[in-house]
Amino acid sequence: MAYRSDLEHLDEDGYTQLDFNSRRPVVSEKGVLSSPCPPNWITHEKSCYLFSTSLDSWNSSKRRCSQLGSNLLKIDSSKELEFIGRQVSSQPDNSFWIGLSHPQTEGPWLWEDGSIVSSKLFQIRSTATQENSSHNCAWIHMSIIFDQLCNVSSYSICEKKLSV
Ligand code: CA
């Protein structure tokens, strides 16, 4: 007598269960996997941006971005500056720390990765006074970059590169 294994493996109702809710990885045009931005982050070009809604000093803001696996914003191109400018201009009452600081009084302004600012991209407007000239951190307000005292509390922008 034959062993009837075929029948034992049939589904009760004959339908195949399809999982429409399964999350598939995003595949770009090049066919490589890229992870989308986390919730609350804005995707633009090759980066994710988080516009913080908590007030912190430059150093605390930098630390918080780092805890989220990111850095304070680095403006690499006029396109990126335009995009960020559009975002922050909707909040004319607020300024946002970016990843630009002046660690040595006589030294140049530096991004977090140690690179210097291209003067073609933007000028840093000085808010320093004679009484207080140590405005060694930069924020963006209405598309304009200003120097500021690092311990002032402000919003901030974190940037995370999309892994491509
Ligand atoms: Ca950037």
**Cα-flanking dihedrals φ and ψ of residue 59, to 5°?**
-65, -45
Burial label for 68, CB within 10 Å (0-12, 13-18, 19+), is: middle
Q: How much distance in Å is there from the Cα of 105 to the middle of ligand 1? A: 25
Ligand 1 center to 93 CA (angstroms): 24
CA of 98 to the centre of ligand 1 (A): 10
Q: Determine the distance separating the centroid of ligand 1 and the alpha carbon of 1, expressed in angstroms.
A: 72
Q: Determine the distance separating the centroid of ligand 1 and the alpha carbon of 49, expressed in angstroms.
A: 9
pLDDT for the residue 106: 75
| Centre of ligand 1 from the C-alpha of residue 148, in Å | 21
Q: Do the beta carbons of residue 48 and residue 70 sit within 8 Å? A: yes
pLDDT for residue 159: 98
What is the distance in A from the centroid of ligand 1 to the CA of 14? 53
pLDDT under 50: residue ranges of the chain: 1-2, 4-25, 28, 31-33
Alpha-carbon span 93 to 109, nearest angstrom: 25
State the pLDDT at residue 103: 80
C-alpha 4 to ligand 1 mean position (Å): 64
- Report the DSSP beta bridge partners of residue 44: 47
**Cα(137) to centroid of ligand 1, in Å?**
17
Residues 52/157, Cβ–Cβ less than 8 Å: yes
* The predicted structure's pLDDT at residue 164: 64
Asked if residues 107 and 117 have their Cβ atoms less than 8 Å apart, the reply is no
Beta bridge partners of 43: 48
SS3 sequence of 69-86: CCEECCCCCHHHHHHHHH
